[in-house]
Structure 1
Amino acid sequence: MAKDEILSFFVQAANHHDFSTDITLHVKGGLVTGTIISAASYFSNLKDSISEKNDVAKQLKEALKQAEESADTKQSNAEYIHLKNMSAYLAENKTTPANADLLWRGKISEVDGFFLGRISDEE
């Protein structure tokens, strides 16, 4: 499946220039909404969410640190989009918790469509 070049542009802006905006993605019949962040921010936030209670957690944090540093090399070809404060809307209006600080990573080539802005449960 081909990547959406406009969506790739938004991701590259986030990765290279710390650009951030709210977005809603249509993925495999569901909606994923959140704020675009850079790959480096994604790995940094993910790393910070893991407590170092054992050796496996320490190894995981080190691997995420290396991924964060690798993302900072400013690769020109973005394959993944990263979101923070994410909510997912699936069948029957079931959603992930809207107030959770969830991170999300998805393949750009798997996104069927998008719009700028986010869906909110608040009225």
Structure 2
Amino acid sequence: MENSEPAIRITLLPRDTNSQGTIFGGIILSYIDIAGAIEAHRQTRMERFVTVAMREVIFHHPVFVGDLVSFYAETVRIGTTSITVRVTVEAERLTGLGERVRVTEAEVVYVAVDENRRKTPIKLSPEEKAQIENRS
């Protein structure tokens, strides 16, 4: 992920810890959702999305207080009303050695909705859609 720019980068704080002293998984999940939504908005310019699925989130390594955590997002697929975004999470350890570890990844599915919260088509030209999907 070193050649791409993260959708979000944040240092997590003591208030984000669980009873084990590591960062609570729910905090990471909420940032995954936000990072994916940022990517969905960037790619489609749609105003409203709702999260409908977060596929298989497995935490490979813990996140510690003070880690610099980066959330990288890329579009996987765009359907008629939905967009699937892959979010990869990396932590740069506070140790000063620049150690980076992949913490987790997930695919998040969003559905575009209108002002009445009903599904609405994602309006992209065939060229825009092909260009986005060819990058993944």
Q: TM-score, normalised by structure 2?
A: 0.27
Structure ranking higher in strand proportion = 2
When Rg is computed on C-alpha atoms for both structures, the one with the higher figure is 2
Structure with the bigger RCO (C-alpha within 8 Å, sep 6+) is 1
Structure ranking higher in helix proportion = 1
